Structure 1
Amino acid sequence: MFLRAWAYTCKYIVEKGEAPRLLPEEITPSFEWKSIQDSKGLEEAYINLWATIGKRLESGSDSNPRSVEPLPKLEVQPNLLRANFHLSSEVIKKLRESVLRYHPEATDPTKRLNLSTYVLACSYVSICLVKARGGDADREVYFAWSADCRSRLDPPLPPNHFGNTAVVHHIVSKAGDFMQENGLAIIAEKLSASIKRLEKGLIEGSNERLEMLLSLGPEVQLISVAGSTGLEFYNTDFGWGNVEKVELTSIDRTGSFSVLDIRNGSDRRTEIGVALKRPEMESFASFFSNGVEVIF
């Protein structure tokens, strides 16, 4: 919401030479919070978790455990490479067809899988990351993703609600599931089922989930997606035309990958951003490109 409002303001200034007195209704931020029902006590739980994490990271310092100061900044690992990869709409179509070959029952409306571009891209990237990491096929791999809560709350929040109104969910599977020949179908089905569970319990387990994900040891591979996929970064116009290049710098520190939608007329692509050390990046690039060729 902030991005859209800021882009509109910048474009207005460029074109009109002055700041707008009012924003259009659809991008005027709404700051109404009273309708949000916190029946699970998430506010207190997250504040307590924030304080606990701060104490862990400070490791015995005399800092106030109830402080709301920012947590220590995550450092960028040395010798890290950043690269972008693209999945065309044609490749996404082939990925979908590949999944359906292993799940023919999904053509039944009552058993339909959520095979959106987001689900297919995340599933494909995650199996490439697991293969690139290698290691024991029996080790656990967690894939964490976030969902926009605004339209899913009861009562729902308006689409112009200002704030990071998102909830984290995850799936867990053995590394071997990602590495199988039908790994894409396995992970896409798991991710689809996780999304469907939002309809029954949007915030179920939220109290425990974040702390659990933050406490995973190095023996577990944690894969996550950075940013908000609903934001059309490449269609944002600050007054000089659409954005030419977008980089989510957080992936350098968090180990997440980014998924961005690029639309230019009939050309639609999904851009994947990853930051890995050279040996893992080379393996990832090989699995990514070779996997696409196998699909075709």
Structure 2
Amino acid sequence: MTTSPPSELRILETYRIGPPPGSAPESSLPFTFFDIAWLYSGPVQRVFFYRFPHSASHFMESVFPTLKSALALTLRDFYPLAGKVRLAPGSQSQYELHYAEGDCVPFVVAEHDGDFDDLSGCHPREYTRVRSLAPQIPEPTDDGQRPVMALQVTLFPDKGLTLAVAVHHSACDGSSSTRFLSSWACRASGFEKEAPAPPYFDRSSVPDPNEAYSKFFSGHAADARNVESMRVQFVPPDAVIGTVTLTADDLGKLKATISSEAKNASFRCSNIVATYAYAWVSLVKARAPSAETTVHLAFPGNCRGRLQPAQPALPAEYFGNCIGGNFAEAKAGDLAGEDGVVVAARIAGEAIEQFKAEPLRDADKWPEKYRAIAMQRPLAVSGSPGFKVYNVDFGWGRPVKVDMPSIVWIGTISVADSRDESGGVEIGLVAPKAEMDQFVAHFSYGLKLLRKF
């Protein structure tokens, strides 16, 4: 869906950047079942806010040339991101990520009259204003090929800038896209030696459990008709985007409380379990469904290194999608009670342990499971603290804020490392203003009680 930019944002120029001529081979990466699951999911967007107390002309003359050349060199390694998703020639069902010489990424440069400090805050902000800072991926070509990435820099003269990326989820997951961003940032800042290792493209060892690919593909006819309308339905006019934080100390106290009250003596609560549990309980309290209502949690799990023993482990550098689905449910009354966080942590922890033991268990049913609960507004999770988004430094210092406007499905949270301290976790949410206020109130009140001890 294409939208017009707000009046406070002006597009100055649109560039097209690709790998240096002759530096990347024409190639086709066949979709695995991990990839085809995201065919109609839309783009994943991240907006990085940076302090930049200089004029627009200074940026264009002194900074942008380096940024463009570093991007071209990075796309030499990550060339599939300059390509397009298409049906493989002669096939009616096998999709692939195809790159050919001359393929490029659109790169928009814009200027903004708004308040940088306000837009880069953690408090609830008007969703559409933050969304305008993220680029729009071009529409499919006449022959149905779909570009997969777009970039945008928005200048707030003498205050700051945002650098934003949109990557279609069928091309790759967050692990791959943040590796691309980190590589680009290292080249732009002159620290190329610190860049992550190049991507790994071999997909020959990725399995297809229970013919998951064909099942996912056959289910996409309904997705193509419904996904876009569902996105619109889930974005009310008063939607806001905001961020709350669990400090390392908060997480330590949460884990200690959960572990001490858990009935299973062997249960040990991790940071991510505590994060999911506390956010889930806070959202259930904010929505206040009836006690007998079943509420759902859906979160990703990285399958790299876990496709054992039948398949060799995929390295961390594997490019593409390699995340599994984890699902949990509970009665709203159980989560809203005094020991709700303990209950939520136990349920989430059990799901994680099952995933670790058998990551592809029921893999062919993941989309079906999510479709079954999607209209019930589950707490779904995007991102990971392990991506270290606050380490993405293009030479202007660490980001002052990172937002994910693509968590547009109400109830989806983003999770990331904390900018302000090691071991903390940031949680982002898009919600109607009243629901956001309730979520923040319950989130803050629980921490106030926790911090007394």
TM-score category (smaller protein): 0.7 to 0.9
Matched, 1:38 2:208: yes
Name the counterpart of 2:221. Answer: 51
C-alpha separation in 1, matches of 2:188 and 2:279: 40
Matched, 1:216 2:373: yes
Describe the shift of the 1:8–1:185 C-alpha distance in structure 2 as closer, same or farther (beyond 3 A). Answer: same
- How many residues align structurally? 271
Name the counterpart of 1:270. Answer: 425
SS across alignment from 1:40: helix
For residues 136-285 of structure 1, what are the structure 2 equivalents within 5 Å? Answer: 136-154=290-308, 155-216=312-373, 218=375, 220-262=376-418, 267-285=422-440
Describe the shift of the 1:257–1:40 C-alpha distance in structure 2 as closer, same or farther (beyond 3 A). Answer: same
Describe the shift of the 1:13–1:96 C-alpha distance in structure 2 as closer, same or farther (beyond 3 A). Answer: closer
Matched, 1:98 2:252: no
Q: Is the 8 A contact 2:410 2:430 kept in 1?
A: no
Q: Is the 8 A contact 1:30 1:161 kept in 2?
A: yes
Candidates 218, 239, 248, aligned match of 1:89: 248
Report the CA distance between 1:225 and its aligned residue: 0.7
C-alpha separation in 1, matches of 2:419 and 2:399: 11
Structure 1 residue identity aligned to 2:414: S
Structure 2 residue identity aligned to 1:45: K
Cα shift readout 1:249-268 (whole Å, capped 9, x = no counterpart): 1123453011111255x654
Cα shift readout 1:70-110 (whole Å, capped 9, x = no counterpart): x668233210122111111111111111112212643xxxx
C-alpha separation in 2, matches of 1:236 and 1:144: 27
SS across alignment from 1:224: strand
Report the CA distance between 1:238 and its aligned residue: 2.1
C-alpha separation in 2, matches of 1:25 and 1:217: 38
SS across alignment from 1:214: helix
Task: Answer 1 or 2: higher relative contact order, Cα 8 Å, separation at least 6.
Answer: 1
C-alpha separation in 2, matches of 1:27 and 1:73: 38
SS across alignment from 2:402: coil
Report the CA distance between 1:34 and its aligned residue: 0.3
Q: Is the 8 A contact 1:5 1:27 kept in 2?
A: no
Report the CA distance between 1:161 and its aligned residue: 0.4
* Greater share of residues in strand: 2
Name the counterpart of 2:179. Answer: 4
Describe the shift of the 1:15–1:209 C-alpha distance in structure 2 as closer, same or farther (beyond 3 A). Answer: closer
Where do 5+ consecutive residues of structure 2 fail to align?
1-175
Q: Percent identity?
A: 26
Report the CA distance between 1:5 and its aligned residue: 3.5
C-alpha separation in 2, matches of 1:32 and 1:125: 37
SS across alignment from 2:396: coil
C-alpha separation in 2, matches of 1:162 and 1:257: 24
Describe the shift of the 1:242–1:217 C-alpha distance in structure 2 as closer, same or farther (beyond 3 A). Answer: closer
C-alpha separation in 2, matches of 1:150 and 1:261: 20
Structure 2 residue identity aligned to 1:184: V
Q: Is the 8 A contact 1:140 1:221 kept in 2?
A: no
Q: How well do the aligned residues superpose, as a CA RMSD in angstroms?
A: 2.4
Report the CA distance between 1:227 and its aligned residue: 2.3
Matched, 1:287 2:442: yes
SS across alignment from 1:251: coil
Q: Following TM superposition, where does structure 1 have runs of at least 4 consecutive aligned residues deviating by more than 6 angstroms?
A: none
Where do 5+ consecutive residues of structure 1 fail to align?
59-70
TM-score under structure 1 length normalisation: 0.83
